[in-house]
Amino acid sequence: MSVPEHLWRFPTLAAIDALAQRFGLPNDPAMQDWEWQVADADRIDEFVAALETGGLSEDERFTLMEIVLQSFEELSAPLELDQRWKRVLEILDQNVSLHGHSICSWSCLDVEEPTNWWRVTPYMRAIFSRHSVELHRFPSKS
């Protein structure tokens, strides 16, 4: 399953600029998939702290979550033992409307073979399952 169109969301240039400045991250216009390129498992603490303390726009929170998910993907330690990972899952679970695109995308719902999943995929699938009605709901036409 690809991400339903009503959930499409992508990092904005303003969010990238703000996060690059805040965290001292490289920000070159030639970078593709910036949010994944700047991910860093060694900086998870500061990334998660920023998600939890607020002061970020919705676009910044969305983009930072993508950085965090990729950072955990690169982490060598088991995710289920990491308290920071549990906090991130709670953030996702409580903010499905903001992170629906990420939840669907990282769930790899169109990939059956677990050997082809991301490390975070089983956790994203669990969130997706809990919120599947909400994630499939189409926005009302105004």
Q: What is the DSSP string of the chain?
A: -PPPGGG-----HHHHHHHHHHHT----TT-SSHHHHS--GGGHHHHHHHHHH----HHHHHHHHHHHHHHHHH--S-GGG-HHHHHHHHHHHH-HHHHHHHHHHHHTTT---GGGS-TTHHHHHHHHHHTHHHHHPPPPP-
| Residue carrying structure tokens 């990972």 | 85
Contact 107, 128 (CB under 8 A): yes
pTM score of the predicted model: 0.91
Q: What string of pLDDT tens digits covers the 142 residues of the chain?
A: 478 788 888 999 999 999 999 999 999 988 999 999 999 999 999 999 999 998 999 999 999 999 999 999 999 999 999 999 999 999 999 999 999 999 999 999 889 898 999 999 999 999 999 998 888 764 544 3
